[in-house]
């Protein structure tokens, strides 16, 4: 068996780093995301979202934002990803910058 191939991962069930990378690369390519942004993901605290929604209940926040309760619970310690935070703010009818005032700062620093 040759390592670093999709065949090694799928059919031979090899989980070495090379075979896992081959499977991951295939997955990204099949989804059309091979050029997707690489690098660290920004996380945004969830407490300002609770304040913006004027609630302290996970279930109510999930209803208002359309984000699952499970995702909200997972995000409590680590924070919300950019995409999830953006979707939640838009669902509340707000711009993310009104909830997280420094929303644009990390992107400006990266562009400089």
CA dihedral 44, 50, 56, 60 (to 10 degrees): -100
pLDDT by residue (tens digit) across 21-35? 888 888 877 766 655
CATH assignment of 43-102, among 1.20.120, 2.10.260, 1.10.260, 1.10.3470: 1.10.260
pLDDT by residue (tens digit) across 41-55? 678 999 999 999 999
pLDDT by residue (tens digit) across 86-99? 999 999 999 999 99
Domain boundaries, the chain: 1-36, 43-102
Closest by CA to 4, choosing from 12, 13, 16, is 16
Residue 104 or residue 98, greater confidence: 98
Burial grade of 46 (CB within 10 A; 0-12, 13-18, 19 or more) = buried
């Amino acid at each position: 068996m040759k390592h670093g191939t999709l065949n090694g991962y799928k059919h031979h069930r090899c989980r070495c780093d090379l075979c896992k990378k081959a499977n991951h690369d295939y997955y990204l390519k099949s989804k059309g995301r091979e050029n997707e942004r690489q690098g660290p993901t920004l996380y945004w605290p969830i407490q300002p979202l609770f304040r913006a929604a004027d609630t302290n209940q996970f279930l109510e926040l999930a209803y208002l934002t359309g984000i699952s309760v499970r995702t909200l619970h997972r995000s409590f310690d680590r924070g919300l990803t950019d995409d999830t935070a953006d979707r939640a703010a838009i669902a509340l009818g707000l711009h993310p910058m009104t909830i997280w005032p420094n929303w644009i700062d990390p992107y400006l620093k990266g562009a400089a």
